[in-house]
Structure 1
Amino acid sequence: MTGRIATRLEELRSELALGERRLQELDRERLDVQQTLLRIAGAVQVLQELLDEESAASNGAVPSVVAD
């Protein structure tokens, strides 16, 4: 009985270590995706502002600056 318990304990420790490593990988991947989304959001904002300025210029209006 003790041998089976020790074997199972080692299996569980191994599974725990694998799970912890996988969680670390996912955390790194999440950070990478988050950074990518921030860059995309920034690019969207810049392009929207350029489009708004171009549209205002073609209508003869003075573009307004909106501060966040």
Structure 2
Amino acid sequence: MMDAIEKRLADLRAEHEAGQKMMAELEAKRSHLVQTMLRIEGAMQVLQELLPAKAEGGTATVTDIKEAAR
């Protein structure tokens, strides 16, 4: 009986360790994805702010980009 309990405990510890490792990997992927999404959203915002300048017939200049950043 004790051997079976010790075996089950060892199995559960191994599963728990594997779960912790998987959780850490998923958290790292999540963090990377969040950073990527933030960069994409920032790029989208800059492009959206440049659209009205282009629609008015002008071309975007460094001054326009500085204004868009405000």
Q: TM-score, normalised by structure 2?
A: 0.79
* Alpha-carbon distance, 1:9 to partner: 0.2
Runs of 5+ consecutive residues of structure 2 not aligned to the other structure = 59-63
Q: Who is 1:2 aligned against?
A: 2
The one-letter code matched in structure 2 to 1:21 is K
The aligned counterpart of 2:57 is 58
Q: Which runs of 4+ in 1 moved over 4 A?
A: 63-67
RMSD: 2.0
Question: Quick one: which amino acid aligns to residue 19 of structure 1?
Answer: G
Cα 1:34/1:66, change in 2 over 3 Å: closer
User: Cα offset for 1:48?
Assistant: 0.7
How many equivalent residue pairs?
A: 63
Match in the other structure for 2:20: 20
Over residues 35-58 of structure 1, what are the superposed CA-to-partner deviations in whole Å (9 max), with x where a residue is unaligned?
Answer: 000000011011111112111x32
> As a proportion of its length, which structure holds more helix?
2
| TM norm structure 1 | 0.81
* Cα 1:42–1:17 shift into 2, 3 Å: same
SS state of the match for residue 12, structure 1?
Answer: helix
